[in-house]
Chains A and B, each alone.
Chain A
Amino acid sequence: MSCKKSTHWNRRTVLQTAGVSWLTSLATGLTCAQESSRDQRRPPKNVIVLWMQGGPSQRDTFDPAASAQEDFSGGVKAIKTSAPEIEIASSLPLVAEQMQHLSVIRSVISKEGDHARGVYNIKTGFRPDPTLVHPSIGAVVCHQLPGKSDIPRHVSILSTNRPGRGGYLGDVFDAFQIGDPLLPIPDVRARVSQERLENRNSDLLEVVESEFSRGRLSNLDASKTLHQLSIRRALKMMTSEQLKAFSVKDTPQSVLTRYGDNSFGRGCFVATRLVKAGVRCVEVTLGGWDTHINNTAAQQNRIRILDPAMAAMVADLKADGLLDDTVIIWAGEFGRTPKLNAVGGRDHWPHGFSVVVGGGGIRGGQVIGQTNPTPDISISYKTTDVVHPVSIADLHATVLKALSIDYSQELQTPIGRPMAISEGTPIEQLIG
């Protein structure tokens, strides 16, 4: 069942929307918003991935087992949300108010319980393949939905390791990595005066490069090295007005406070500005979810950061008319065991965990699948308790279909191997 109300007005929503009007005026000033975002005929084109590094617990977030005994529930309570069918953990009150825009898939299953393999699996939609590196969802979107901007169209904020990669599409599709938006953007500031930089580049292009190209492949740069082309693009980026989208320096404190005013919150805020500026995919990472010990307190610690940031981001995108253009994915590499271990922790659990999707062409307010609140976690085949299991490939096919990308089309890898963008089947219930 979907929530039919487009907006659920309450005190917080009003406050959030008040802040958004400022964002709207700022974003309008950013270049490269090529098309009107309110054009309903146009398919969505952006993706924001909120990446929960370490594996968030579904029981502490979007699939609480409030009625189960404490060693399963962890004492987590559930609250109602703006979507009538959805209850989530009570520690996510702000996100609860946005759930009419979001849907929870509670039955995601994978076969990867290792961090590195799990990250690869969820970000690319494929299990690690020793003979091929698959592109992450952001790289696929950039590849499939071309666009122009001075700044990279695939950006990863706060990624400590394993940011989205271009894989077999090429490292030109790798995510451009930045840290806390409070800090300067890495490597875009020239270290010498403009005059000296121009002199250096003139020496490089007119003397050293021309010397190197002598006696080699004709059209060396365009056909092979892309070196000078990359330098030209880098120089353009260094002086682009669009760089402002990376920064929060000119942002009122009241706006940042709504996001939580921490690095993740600032990352979520910047994500909204980047999609406005023409960036196709932004990945914002919040780490620290790998809670093998003392799970409940540790998860709460993360959720306190997640809740305001995610809620404000959804609300702002909606108020600014960008939510219809932008698919949001909230995910980690796996979930956590439904039962607390001997030290109050939860271990890795890929056998039925939650992923949240919304915006873009995704129908909000839906719940897909169901997990057993008290499963026997010792049995070897653990997915029998999962109703309507959804594979990682299905998840990717759903997101790609929502973006009107032909998910089943085959691309050629560098060695000529045909490879489908996704081998999954979309969840039709979610395609709005």
Chain B
Amino acid sequence: MKLTTQAVLFVLLCLVVMGALLGSAFSTQHLQRKVTGIGNHHQQARGFSEMVAEVDHQFQQRWKEKELAFAAPAGNLAVMRRASLALHGTIPSLEEVTAFVEESGYEMTDDNVLDRYINYLLMDRRYSDYMSERLARVFVGVEAGPFLIYRRRRFRLWLSDQLMENQPYNGLVHSLIASKGVWTSDPEVNFVTATITQEDGGRPDIMKLAGRTSRAFLGMRIDCLQCHDDRLGTIALDLNDPSENSLQSDFHQFAAFYSQVNTGFSGVHDDSEHYAYKYLGDDEEVIVPPVVPFYQELAASNGTRRVQLADWVTNKNNRAFSRTAVNRIWAIVFGRPLVDPVDDIPLTGPFPPGLESLTDEFVKSDFDLKHLIRVITSLQVFRVDSRADFEVTEDHEAAWSVFPLVRLRPEQVAGALNQAASLKTINADVSYLVRLQQQNEIDNFVKRYGDTGEDEFEDRGGTVTQRLLLMNGNFLQHRIANGSNTPGRVAMITQDDEDAIRSVYLAALTRTPSQRESLYFLMKFKQQPKNRRSKLIEDLFWTLTNSTEFSWNH
């Protein structure tokens, strides 16, 4: 009798635990409440749709000139997937898909739903965490850097906070260039300390700082000028005469703005050091004064040299600065920049459709990054399909008349695998320890997959190592098989085979299966006994996550 009572209690306990698990896994009430409260007033604001229409018109004109057809609008789900990959570095969860599209249907294109979804993404901490890593790679690179005096993690967290609060981009960059203080309490100074090497005796490397500043904030690769004049005529710094070759002195005069930055007990500070350099072919060093390489009329004269540089770089009329920011954000959103390479934008053009108008809008909005993202993700080029009923060529992709296929970054693949197998949204509501563990696994996955480092926007196909990792690696295996209850959960919560197949498609590929796919897998499920259902779902997860479609943005 005693044993029977214990058994009953045990079964009851199991039922309660399973009920709680199921409840927590599939209760979308919390998310739906959140979703309901999200409007699209940003996109409804005065002038917003006119701005979008203006840029759309520029692209349409270009297609007309080149006689290129353009694709039809993509469905909600395809655009949601792109937006989530762009802003969270992962795909939408099954829970999010359900919460956003169940009103409008899976096949629809509903701009209101998409506007609200993009606002939802921008409000979530995952946006700033992901974007801060992408931007940190631009600002300080990927290396661990000098011991103690450089804290990359602190820097990235600080950057994430700034992005979450949507601090104006010009102010953020001003802080990077000009701030003083200690790397722990004033994390922005890590922009400077990242360049310190053992050789410099604690003095930041002004060459690296000048090169980084030029590429990251001005979209100009002037590093070659460090050693010699521009012999190939590829670096144009003269606004009036772009054919005028640039000089070695242009680089060193620019670098001289960093000549007084130093580190000590008080952290990063400025002293009164002069910068001397022996130019190629000269016999002696000369004192190099700080001079900006273009837009000399915007040059500031107050404050430390770094403050003067920061004032000039972030000046509202410094088009190179705002243009570079637009091109960078565009590249992160699409996986491909408007002007390629992303950090090599000709000072005097010619510029592609959209760039100048978006730059104007970015400046007008007081360097509001979230506003810029809302505009870019509202454009026709972001919302067109990646396939078409005409013959798609590379010209269509180059002109953005179809959404370009771009290989996902390694952390996007890892994030997408993690999210696909979870079903429930992996956000700040998930335990910190769980997320920490997952992040550790993601880091290991990325290392093996091949971290692209700062080399962000290379257009390349997949590799054998990557395929092996997806086909047989622990990362996916632990999420869909050994010890994972994902296939079992899908089997339990879905009404029938068709529902199960659709749920796996939605979780992994953010779309419903085509009729052919649906019929094919339904037949497969029906040919197998019921007790094999979880195995079939596991197989389907494997198949979909090993597809081209999963590893590419489209």
Contacts and interface: CB of A to CB of B under 8 A. Distances in A.
Most chain B CB within a 10 A radius of its CB, from A207, A213, A347: A207
Interface stretch (B82-90, B283-291, B317-325, B538-546): B538-546
B180 interface: no
Contacts of A200: 539, 542-543, 546
Nearest to B551: A227
A209 B391 CA distance: 18
A212 B221 CA distance: 38
Interface string B126-161: 000000000000000001111000000000000000
A113 B198 contact: yes
Interface stretch (A75-83, A172-180, A299-307, A386-394): A172-180
A250 interface: no
Contacts of B464: 152, 172, 176, 230, 233-234, 237
Interface in B523-554: 524, 539-540, 542-544, 546-549, 551-552
A129 B458 contact: no
A198 to B, nearest CB: 11
Interface in A169-222: 170-172, 174, 176-177, 186-191, 196, 199-200, 203-204, 207-209, 211-218, 220-221
B477 interface: yes
Nearest to B475: A187
A146 interface: no
Most chain A CB within a 10 A radius of its CB, from B198, B212, B477: B198
Contact of A225 (B144, B407, B520, B540): B407
A259 to B, nearest CB: 26
Contacts of B391: 218
Interface in B336-352: 340-341, 343-344
Nearest to B221: A131
Interface in A116-141: 116-117, 129-131, 133
A318 interface: no
A186 B548 contact: no
B25 interface: no
Given A224-B405, A225-B461, A234 B468 contact: yes
Q: How large is the interface on A (under 10, 10 to 19, 20 to 34, 35 or more residues)?
A: 35 or more
Given A203-B543, A207-B517, A212-B549, A231 B215 contact: no
Interface string B379-398: 00000001111011110010
Nearest to B513: A211
Contacts of B397: 217
Nearest to B146: A114
Contacts of A221: 548
Given A133-B453, A189-B472, A234-B468, A208 B448 contact: no
Nearest to A237: B464
A27 B388 CA distance: 53
Interface string A220-251: 11001111111101100110000000000000
B223 A129 contact: yes
Nearest to B234: A417
Nearest to A231: B467
A215 B467 contact: no
B463 A217 contact: no
A375 to B, nearest CB: 16
Contacts of B543: 200, 203-204, 208
Interface in B446-464: 447-448, 450, 452-455, 458-464
A220 B255 CA distance: 46
A114 B392 contact: no
Nearest to B447: A161
B494 interface: no
A228 B466 CA distance: 12
A216 B405 contact: yes
Contacts of A227: 461-462, 467, 547-548, 551-552
A342 interface: no
Interface in A16-56: none
Given A216-B392, A234-B467, A237-B468, A114 B405 contact: no
B448 A186 contact: yes
A396 interface: no
Contact of B198 (A161, A187, A347): A347
B19 interface: no
Interface string B497-524: 0000000000000000010110011001
A216 B387 contact: yes
A177 B452 CA distance: 16
Given A130-B211, A211-B517, A217-B394, A187 B199 contact: no
B463 A230 contact: yes
Contact of A414 (B343, B459, B467, B524): B459
A348 interface: yes
B144 A116 contact: yes
Contacts of A116: 143-145
A188 B467 CA distance: 10
B462 A226 contact: yes
B473 interface: yes
A174 B389 contact: no
A234 B471 contact: yes
Contact of B517 (A165, A208, A415): A208
A207 B516 CA distance: 8
A351 to B, nearest CB: 10
B469 interface: yes
B372 to A, nearest CB: 25
A212 B511 CA distance: 12
B481 interface: yes
A204 B547 contact: yes
B112 interface: no
B392 A215 contact: yes
B471 A187 contact: yes
A183 B502 CA distance: 39
B49 interface: no
B24 interface: no
A287 to B, nearest CB: 15
B197 interface: yes
Contact of A415 (B341, B394, B465, B552): B341
A23 B463 CA distance: 32
B147 to A, nearest CB: 10
Contacts of B542: 200
A225 B524 CA distance: 28
A130 B223 contact: yes
Contact of A212 (B344, B388, B392, B548): B548
A234 B465 CA distance: 8
Most chain A CB within a 10 A radius of its CB, from B144, B453, B472: B472
Contact of A174 (B146, B463, B549, B551): B463
Interface of A: 113-114, 116-117, 129-131, 133, 152, 161, 165, 170-172, 174, 176-177, 186-191, 196, 199-200, 203-204, 207-209, 211-218, 220-221, 224-231, 233-234, 237-238, 347-348, 414-415
Given A174-B463, A214-B387, 17 more contacts: A117-B197, A130-B212, A152-B464, A152-B465, A171-B452, A196-B539, A216-B386, A216-B405, A217-B397, A218-B392, A230-B464, A231-B471, A231-B546, A234-B467, A234-B468, A414-B459, A415-B340
26 contacts: A117-B197, A130-B212, A133-B455, A152-B465, A172-B464, A174-B450, A174-B465, A176-B465, A191-B472, A191-B481, A204-B547, A209-B547, A215-B387, A215-B388, A215-B392, A225-B461, A225-B552, A230-B464, A230-B466, A231-B546, A237-B464, A237-B468, A347-B198, A348-B198, A414-B458, A415-B341
What 5 A-B pairs are tightest by C-beta distance, nearest first?
A: A226-B461, A215-B387, A187-B468, A227-B548, A234-B467
